[in-house]
Chain A
Amino acid sequence: MSDAALVYVRHQDKEQNYLQAGHTLGSWLTSTDHKRIGILYALAITFFFFIGGIAVGLVRIELMSPNGDFLTDDAYNRLFTLHGIVMVWFFLVPSIPATLGNFLLPMMIGAKDVAFPKINLLSWYIFIVGACFAVVSIVAGGVDTGWTFYTPFSTMFSNGDVIAAAAGVFIVGFSSIATGVNFITTVHMLRAPGMTWFRLPLFVWAIYATSVVMVLATPVLAMSLLLIIAERWLGMPIFNPANGGDPILFQHLFWFYSHPAVYIMVLPAMGVVSEIFACFARRRVFGYAMMVYAMMSIAVIGFFVWGHHMFVSGQSQYANFVFSFLSFIVAVPSAIKVFNWTATLFRGQITFEAPMLYALGFLGLFTIGGLTGLFLASVPIDVHVTDTYFVVAHFHYIMVGGSVSAFFAGLHFWWPKITGRLYSEAWARFAAIVMFLGFNTTFMPQFIMGYAGMPRRYHVYPPEFQIWHVMSSVGALVLFVAYTLPLIYLTWSLFYGKKAGDNPWAATGLEWQTASPPPKHNFAELPHVKAPPYRYHPDRQAPEAEDRKPETQQGAM
């Protein structure tokens, strides 16, 4: 074996990079290039992130005082609903898979594009159509059912624009399904020669697991929403108790999707941080096989725990017992992953660039969020804290502290590859730290309030909770700053950032073995894979500080 010399397969070809291949708006809107589609998605979700953020900004301003002096009851209810619907379906669910996944998946497996490039573009258009319905619903005054659309309030009592909102989410679901079908087929059918399943980067496994969940869970949401629309628009009595209908049936159908949905939102994040820990600790991910099994177990077991959202709904105690047990079980693979990521740091050569700071933030915040999940899995505990701010804090620790941190981590890690530019490391590190502090200030008080009995979705509240609400709102302001900073310095870097080389991080992975930005067809010649991923150091030898030149998966030429 050579002395671990740099083995880049440089693709110094005359081919333009994907950004140069067509400069018109039309070339972007009709492109079937997975890289461009990833960017189209990135623009769309960034827009919705700020819409959802403004909505909750107004909510948090209102909540600084216990009385409803800033917003009316109805306006408040519509704003928190808007926040939930937009953040879940128009930001989090597509975020990592449709942006980073689209951009990187084919490159990571050594393919020229996804399996069905035209369907990929179609999925973006479907997203936009669904988004239009959502915008229509917002402009028409909004919806106040909460993102959960519980019946019979949503079908028979709400006077918001439930049909438009439900239709928007219904349509956007098909975008998810199309993406899922595409990614699953891509991973099965387009791996480069030598890229066996257990040589895949963990990000690819994560996207694959996510896609399986998207394909199997999202249709059930679609049916739930269709039934609501049928009841509200056509008068079909499905959940109306006067006709023998059961409102709890809606909850079962809704949560059968919405619990796996949270794994759709967190599995890709796990994939991202796996790549980042390996690169910035210069170590192979500890326990690669277990990491794969853990992700697949989470995807599977995640389908059988939905009833833990319904412990006080009136379902039987036997059901509560079973769902509680399975919910404790599903926590085990997540815990394993936390241990393995921590162990990946052991005897590494760790550096703390922005992606690593975000990834470390993910690790801590996901651990806290996950442990509070154990509280909620216990039926007696849940009976008190469900529908309070305890639950709100729990899921924000995972979705925001976890998934959004990981999204930023990935965005910064692959920014040089996607844009060919380096961002300002000083500003990025500053933003990462501000985000971590702002996040904890916002959400830690919410655990306390929830335990103390502060219900969620409350516009006015008993005055003893004010101190916690004020703390939380101050934190939200800090978070707003932390999210705006990257918007500024990343955009700045597009025009004035230093040009990035092919592999500024000296990372392994096929995507780094091609130019930054990549050529339109990703590789001049398809790679032939000869080795497992994360070859940051020889087999049993921990990396030394000077080793910044990893061996690639293609091995020695």
Chain B
Amino acid sequence: MSEVSPVVHEPWPSFERQKMAVSFGMWVFIASEVLFFSGLLLAYTIYRHLDAEAFKIASRETEVFYGGTNTAILLTSSLTMAMAVHASDHGFRRMTIRCLAATVAFGLAFLVMKGFEYHSDLDKGLWPGPGFPLHPATTQLFWAFYWIATGVHAVHLSVGIGIVSTIAVRLKRGTLLVKASTFEGAALYWHLVDTIWIILLPMIYLVGRA
């Protein structure tokens, strides 16, 4: 197979340097994302500490079926993403495209499941406000956290789906080369989204369900 030399963008003196920089930059960005979610997790931790019983009552209404299935989906998508990076490192263009496509498919499946879950939650009236079905009132704090945390996560996941599908399409069209610096950066972002979910999983679904 022909060896195409990778594209080096301005202002990089070499491809190796550029590739290192893309990963480095993504790690720095990941640091900012960690701080972003930390504020929310801190709020959750404090409120849970102040009223652990209410959090248990509230968490019992979450549906482990959706939580568990979505976790399996997302973990698998991280696997396919990692495979995509490996494939790109070895120059296997078609394999890379397939793995990226699989990642996107799993991501979309997650969002679909999430949609069903949200529907079910709303049917049970679990949107904080007057008429909230649970008592005491502090259970609404848990559910506020649920909607905000899963919503923000879903936004991040959608951005990830957008990025991965874009690079998959560009790879297919040939506007992106298989040995580009982009894949590792995109994979780091995808794994971040996955890791955030892993942290949210016990906080949402496993309170009092030991």
A binds B: yes
CB neighbors of B among A104-123 (8 A): 106, 111-117
CB neighbors of A among B101-150 (8 A): 127-129, 136-138, 140-141, 144, 147-148
A238 and B12 alpha carbons, distance in the complex (Å): 46
Among A190, A216, A237, A526, residue most surrounded by chain B Cβ atoms (within 10 Å)? A237
Residue of A nearest to B34 (CB): A219
Within 8 Å by CB of B31, from A182, A190, A215, lies A215
Report B-chain residues with C-beta under 8 Å of the C-beta of A129: none
A249 and B64 alpha carbons, distance in the complex (Å): 30
Q: Contact flags (1/0) for B1-33 with A, using CB distance below 8 Å? A: 000000001111100010011001100110111
Among B17, B137, B144, residue most surrounded by chain A Cβ atoms (within 10 Å)? B144
Report A-chain residues with C-beta under 8 Å of the C-beta of B46: 246, 249
CB neighbors of A among B75-96 (8 A): none
Contact of A236 with B144 in the complex, beta carbons under 8 Å: yes
Contact of A238 with B28 in the complex, beta carbons under 8 Å: no
Main secondary structure of the interface of A (DSSP, over half): helix
Contact of A189 with B21 in the complex, beta carbons under 8 Å: yes
Contact of B148 with A116 in the complex, beta carbons under 8 Å: no
Residue B174 CB within 8 A of the other chain: no
A243 and B53 alpha carbons, distance in the complex (Å): 14
Contact of A184 with B28 in the complex, beta carbons under 8 Å: yes
Cross-chain pairs A/B with CB under 8 angstroms, 20 sampled: A111-B11, A177-B29, A181-B25, A181-B28, A185-B25, A215-B31, A215-B32, A219-B32, A223-B40, A224-B39, A226-B148, A227-B148, A230-B147, A234-B147, A236-B148, A238-B144, A243-B128, A243-B137, A243-B140, A244-B138
Residue A538 CB within 8 A of the other chain: no
Report A-chain residues with C-beta under 8 Å of the C-beta of B51: 244
A114 and B36 alpha carbons, distance in the complex (Å): 25
Report B-chain residues with C-beta under 8 Å of the C-beta of A244: 47, 50-51, 54, 136-138, 141
Q: Nearest chain A CB to B16's CB is how many angstroms away?
A: 11
- On whether A113 and B11 interact (CB within 8 A), knowing A236-B147, A238-B141, A244-B138, the answer reads yes
Contact of A249 with B43 in the complex, beta carbons under 8 Å: yes
Report A-chain residues with C-beta under 8 Å of the C-beta of B148: 226-227, 230, 236
Report B-chain residues with C-beta under 8 Å of the C-beta of A22: none
Report A-chain residues with C-beta under 8 Å of the C-beta of B40: 223, 227
Report B-chain residues with C-beta under 8 Å of the C-beta of A215: 28-29, 31-32
Contact of A243 with B138 in the complex, beta carbons under 8 Å: yes
* Nearest 10 pairs of A and B residues by beta carbon: A223-B39, A112-B11, A219-B36, A244-B138, A236-B144, A113-B11, A219-B35, A185-B25, A189-B21, A243-B137
Residue A454 CB within 8 A of the other chain: no
Q: Nearest chain A CB to B19's CB is how many angstroms away?
A: 11
Report B-chain residues with C-beta under 8 Å of the C-beta of A223: 36-40
Residue A218 CB within 8 A of the other chain: yes
Residue B152 CB within 8 A of the other chain: yes
Q: Contact flags (1/0) for A65-104 with B, using CB distance below 8 Å? A: 0000000000000000000000000000000000000000
Report B-chain residues with C-beta under 8 Å of the C-beta of A237: 128, 140-141, 144
- On whether A185 and B43 interact (CB within 8 A), knowing A106-B11, A226-B148, the answer reads no
Residue A374 CB within 8 A of the other chain: no
Q: Nearest chain B CB to A194's CB is how many angstroms away?
A: 14
B interface with A by C-beta (< 8 Å): 9-13, 17, 20-21, 24-25, 28-29, 31-33, 35-40, 42-43, 46-47, 50-51, 54, 127-129, 136-138, 140-141, 144, 147-148, 152
Q: Nearest chain A CB to B193's CB is how many angstroms away?
A: 15
A117 and B12 alpha carbons, distance in the complex (Å): 11
A237 and B132 alpha carbons, distance in the complex (Å): 12
Q: Nearest chain A CB to B42's CB is how many angstroms away?
A: 8
Residue A235 CB within 8 A of the other chain: yes
Contact of A216 with B32 in the complex, beta carbons under 8 Å: yes
CB neighbors of B among A217-269 (8 A): 217-220, 222-224, 226-227, 230, 234-238, 242-246, 249, 253, 256
Q: Contact flags (1/0) for A150-192 with B, using CB distance below 8 Å? A: 0000000000000000000000000001001110110011100
Report B-chain residues with C-beta under 8 Å of the C-beta of A243: 128, 137-138, 140-141
Q: Nearest chain A CB to B45's CB is how many angstroms away?
A: 11
- On whether A219 and B50 interact (CB within 8 A), knowing A116-B25, A235-B128, the answer reads no
Report B-chain residues with C-beta under 8 Å of the C-beta of A246: 46-47, 50
Contact of B43 with A253 in the complex, beta carbons under 8 Å: yes
Knowing that A243-B137, A253-B42 are A-B contacts, what are 12 other residue pairs whose CB atoms are under 8 Å apart, sorted by A's residue number?
A: A106-B11, A177-B32, A185-B21, A185-B28, A226-B152, A230-B144, A230-B147, A237-B128, A238-B144, A243-B140, A245-B141, A526-B13
Report B-chain residues with C-beta under 8 Å of the C-beta of A222: 36
Report B-chain residues with C-beta under 8 Å of the C-beta of A184: 25, 28
Q: Nearest chain A CB to B24's CB is how many angstroms away?
A: 6
Q: Nearest chain A CB to B56's CB is how many angstroms away?
A: 14
Contact of A217 with B43 in the complex, beta carbons under 8 Å: no
Q: Nearest chain A CB to B94's CB is how many angstroms away?
A: 28
Contact of A181 with B29 in the complex, beta carbons under 8 Å: yes
Within 8 Å by CB of B24, from A106, A114, A185, A245, lies A185
A513 and B36 alpha carbons, distance in the complex (Å): 41
A41 and B56 alpha carbons, distance in the complex (Å): 50
Report B-chain residues with C-beta under 8 Å of the C-beta of A116: 21, 25
Q: Nearest chain A CB to B184's CB is how many angstroms away?
A: 14
A189 and B12 alpha carbons, distance in the complex (Å): 9
Q: Nearest chain A CB to B97's CB is how many angstroms away?
A: 24
Residue of B nearest to A253 (CB): B39
Q: Nearest chain A CB to B81's CB is how many angstroms away?
A: 21
A116 and B18 alpha carbons, distance in the complex (Å): 10
A224 and B38 alpha carbons, distance in the complex (Å): 11
CB neighbors of B among A533-556 (8 A): none
Contact of A117 with B20 in the complex, beta carbons under 8 Å: no
Residue of A nearest to B26 (CB): A181
Q: Nearest chain A CB to B160's CB is how many angstroms away?
A: 16
A512 and B47 alpha carbons, distance in the complex (Å): 56
Contact of B144 with A217 in the complex, beta carbons under 8 Å: no
Contact of A113 with B10 in the complex, beta carbons under 8 Å: yes
Q: Nearest chain B CB to A217's CB is how many angstroms away?
A: 7
Q: Nearest chain B CB to A15's CB is how many angstroms away?
A: 14
Among A106, A111, A230, residue most surrounded by chain B Cβ atoms (within 10 Å)? A230
